[in-house]
Amino acid sequence: MTTQWDRATGALDIATLKALFASGSLTPESLIDAIYDRIAARGDDHVWIHLIDRETSKARARALMADPAAKELPLYGIPFGIKDNVDLEGVPSTAAVRAWSRMPEASSPLVQTLLDAGAIPIGKQNQDQLGMGVVGVRTDYGIPQCVFDARYISGGSTSGGGVSVGAGLVSFAVANDAAGSGRVPAALNNIVGYKPTPGLVPRAGRSMAGMVGTENFLTLTMEDSVLLSNLWFRHEPGDPFSKPEADGFRVSCAPAPASFRFAIPDAATLDTDGDAESARLFRENVARLEALGGTAVEIDMTPYLTAAKMLYEGPFIAQRYANFGDRFNGNEDALCPPTREILSWGRKYSARDVYKAQYVMAGYKQQIRQLFRDVDLLVTPTTPSTYTIEALLADNIALNAKMGTYTNFVNLLDLPAASIPAGFRKDGIPLGTMLIGPSLGDDLVCRVGAALHAALGIAPGLAGKPELAEAS
Which pLDDT score, from 0 to 100, does residue 202 have? Answer: 85
pLDDT score at 1: 42
Helix (H, G, I), strand (E, B) or coil at 15: helix
58, 83, 124, 243: the catalytic one is: 83
Q: Helices 14-23 and 222-230, interaxial angle, to 10°?
A: 80
Catalytic site includes residue 171: no
| pLDDT given at position 3 | 60
Q: Where are the domains of the chain?
A: 14-246
CB neighbour burial string for 120-153, b if at least 16 within 10 angstroms, e if fewer? bbbbbbbbbbbbbbbbbbbbbbbbbbbbbeeebb
Question: How many whole angstroms separate alpha carbon 288 and alpha carbon 193?
Answer: 19
Give the pLDDT confidence score for residue 212 in this predicted structure. Answer: 66
Helices (H), 292-350: 302-313, 317-330, 337-344
**Spatial separation of the C-alpha atoms in residues 385 and 269, rounded to whole Å:** 14
Q: Length of the chain, please? A: 472
> Do 233 and 196 touch, CB atoms closer than 8 A?
yes
> Does residue 83 carry a catalytic annotation?
yes
Q: Contact 225/219 with Cβ under 8 angstroms?
A: yes
From residue 156, give the alpha-carbon distance in Å to each of 26, 38, 71, 187, 290: 33, 22, 34, 10, 30
Distance CA 212, CA 139 (A): 22
Q: Catalytic site residue 278?
A: no
Residue 331: count of CB within 10 angstroms of its CB: 11
Q: What is the pLDDT of residue 467?
A: 85
State the catalytic residue, choosing from 93, 108, 154, 157.
157
Distance CA 143, CA 157 (A): 11
Amino acid at 50: H
CATH of region 14-246, choose from 3.90.79.10, 3.90.1300.10, 2.30.42.10, 3.40.50.620: 3.90.1300.10
pLDDT, residue 472, reads 39
> Among candidates 370, 376, 472, 386, which has minimal Cα distance to 429?
386
User: Which residue positions in the chain have pLDDT lower than 70?
Assistant: 1-3, 204-212, 469-472
Contact 314, 307 (CB under 8 A): no
> CA-CA distance, 84 to 94, in Å (whole number)?
6
The DSSP output letter for 461 is G
HSE-up of residue 236 (Cα within 13 Å, Cβ side): 18
Q: How far apart are CA 409 and CA 436, in angstroms?
A: 11
Q: 107, 171, 181, 419: which is the annotated catalytic residue? A: 181
Alpha-carbon span 290 to 293, nearest angstrom: 5
Confidence at residue 204, expressed as pLDDT on a 0 to 100 scale:
54
In tens, the pLDDT along 367-408 reads 999 999 999 999 999 999 999 999 999 999 999 999 999 999
End-to-end CA distance of the chain: 37
Q: How far apart are CA 88 and CA 105, in angstroms?
A: 9
Angle at 149 between CA 145 and CA 152, to 5 degrees: 55
Closest CA to 73 of 11, 138, 17, 10: 17
d(CA 276, CA 295): 23
CA distance 200 to 231: 11
